[in-house]
């Protein structure tokens, strides 16, 4: 097993401020909440103090209703399950505990007080090669461990890589990860997901793919960003960017060394069959330079035997759960799963939206134009349906129709007639397509 690399040395970055001890609300009698570290559409993150141990942690507070309305339950459960299986590796953000109430889910995780690596890159620009290599070594160590556990991250980018107070890299955000049970009988994946600038071409093309090789591509983009200060494939037009990816249309800055260029070039191979794996990267001279090899030790177990002797004095709930074969997370969400379907369309994204508007008018729905491109809302009674279309590559349009609000009986009666109307533009249906299109260019 690849040993975890040492912490990166000081690289001219200012040291992150030490988080202040919380002095706020007591959460479920176990944690004292402090200042907010960040927030998003469905969750917010606070620093907190364990009342029992006085340890500082981070608590991710997830709003159940917002998450359920957006169909995000599978992503939350997947994130928890992946972190549970991987929390022994020193470069994976450690999960301590999961708690839930009727309206909220609380993920208690290791505090990465250094913040996002992305923020440091924005602040300081490109890194020296030795510093970039240290971060890359830690990322490769974590992903090698993930892949040996049968888990592919599928959204590797600087925004999902955190730093602790000592500068150690911590891989986080496993919401788009693939677990062993998500693979086909051939060991391949089908779900299209990730951030365009960092996503492998075979994933975007909706082909069956090897999750580990897809992570390799993202690592190539990541290393380029560390050394250059910008992404290799950058264009405001996503389709044009994908064409550049297929042609390997990018240029190395003259300050990147030839050995580093070789590694990046072999990782950014559009053909996954010939693309270098992360495991192969670890055998290159460039990777091994300046790396120490302390023996990897699991934070809880004395040996590789998962039923081996417990050696830690502070054992979390997830340490004990990891002794069992599985963890039932189905009770976290009480809300029923709303109706939704995804399909590849025979028309353009604009055609999908126009079709949705015509269907809405025909069936007596309120047609709600959205500010977002290629999105339309349909309302009838208490039921609200959102139709969204996106062109992944030229000629490949994926559409999603989902109920976001409504009573169960009313929803059932409206759904069938609505979906029948879309049949004439359906090329093929997808049981598990998660499309995330956003601009994450440095």
Nearest CA among 56, 42, 157 for reference residue 113: 56
Quote the strand ranges of 29-135, DSSP E: 31-39, 43-50, 56-63, 95-100, 104-110, 115-116
- Nearest CA-CA partner of 231 in 239, 240, 219, 222: 222
User: Which of the 8 DSSP states describes residue 380?
Assistant: E
d(C-alpha 239, C-alpha 375), whole Å:
19
Q: Are 63 and 42 in contact (CB under 8 A)?
A: yes
Confirm or deny that 64 is annotated as ligand binding.
Answer: no
> Angle, nearest 10°, between helix axes 408-422 and 349-363?
130
> Annotated catalytic sites, by residue?
155
DSSP H or E run through 429: strand 426-430
CA dist 423 to 187, 363, 375, 402, 430, Å? Answer: 31, 15, 19, 15, 14
Phi/psi of residue 63, nearest 5 degrees: -80, 115
Residues 172 and 193 sit within 8 Å (Cβ to Cβ): no
User: CA 58, CA 108: separation in Å to the nearest integer?
Assistant: 6
Strand-by-strand arrangement of the 43-50 sheet: 26-27, 31-39, 43-50, 56-63, 104-110, 95-100
Rounded to an integer, what distance in angstroms lies between the CA atom of residue 21 and that of residue 119?
Answer: 23
Q: With contact defined as beta carbons under 8 Å apart, do 58 and 90 qualify? A: no
Token reading at 286: 């460039």
The token pair that represents 101 in the structure block:
């109430």
Rounded CA-CA distance 135/152 in Å is: 19
- H/E run at residue 420: helix 408-422
Let me know how many helices (H) and strands (E) the chain has, helices first: 13, 15
The CA distance from 201 to 219, in Å, is 14
Task: Please state the residue numbers annotated as binding site.
Answer: 60
**Residues in binding site for ATP:** 60
């Amino acid at each position: 097993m690849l040993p975890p690399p040492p912490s990166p040395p000081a690289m001219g970055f200012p040291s992150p401020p030490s988080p202040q001890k919380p002095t706020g609300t007591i959460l479920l009698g176990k944690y004292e909440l402090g200042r907010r570290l960040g927030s998003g559409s469905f969750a917010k993150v606070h620093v907190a103090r364990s009342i029992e141990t006085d340890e500082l942690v981070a608590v991710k507070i997830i709003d159940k209703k917002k998450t359920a309305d957006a169909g995000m339950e599978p992503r939350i459960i997947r994130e928890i399950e992946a972190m549970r299986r991987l929390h022994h590796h020193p470069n994976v953000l450690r999960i301590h505990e999961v708690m839930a109430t009727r309206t909220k889910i609380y993920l208690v995780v290791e505090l990465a007080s250094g913040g996002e690596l992305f923020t440091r890159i924005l602040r300081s620009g490109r890194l020296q090669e030795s510093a970039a290599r240290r971060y890359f070594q830690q990322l490769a160590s974590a992903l090698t461990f993930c892949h040996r556990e049968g888990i592919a991250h599928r959204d590797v980018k600087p925004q999902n890589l955190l730093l602790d107070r000592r500068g150690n890299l911590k891989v986080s955000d496993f919401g788009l990860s693939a677990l062993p049970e998500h693979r086909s009988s051939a060991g391949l994946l089908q779900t299209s997901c990730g951030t365009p600038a960092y996503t492998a071409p075979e994933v975007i093309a909706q082909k069956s793919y090897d999750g580990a090789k897809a992570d390799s591509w993202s690592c190539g983009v990541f290393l380029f960003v560390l050394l250059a200060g910008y992404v290799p494939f950058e264009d405001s037009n996503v389709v044009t960017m994908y064409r550049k990816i297929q042609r390997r249309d990018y240029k190395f800055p003259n300050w990147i060394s030839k050995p580093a260029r070789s590694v990046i070039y072999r990782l950014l191979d559009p053909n996954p069959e010939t693309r270098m794996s992360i495991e192969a990267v670890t055998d290159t001279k460039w990777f091994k330079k300046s790396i120490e090899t302390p023996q990897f030790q699991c934070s809880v177990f004395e040996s590789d035997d998962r039923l081996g002797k417990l050696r830690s004095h502070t054992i979390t709930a997830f340490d004990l759960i990891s002794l069992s074969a599985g963890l039932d997370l189905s009770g976290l969400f009480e809300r029923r799963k709303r109706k939704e379907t995804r399909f590849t369309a025979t028309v353009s994204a604009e055609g999908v939206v126009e079709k949705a508007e015509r269907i809405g008018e025909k069936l007596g729905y309120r047609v709600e134009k959205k500010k977002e491109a290629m999105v339309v809302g349909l309302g009838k009674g208490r039921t609200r349906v959102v139709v969204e279309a996106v062109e992944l590559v030229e000629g490949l349009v994926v559409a999603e129709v989902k109920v976001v609000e409504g009573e169960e009986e009313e929803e059932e009666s409206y759904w069938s007639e609505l979906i029948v109307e879309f049949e004439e533009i359906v090329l093929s249906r997808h049981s598990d397509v998660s499309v995330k299109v956003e601009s994450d260019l440095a």
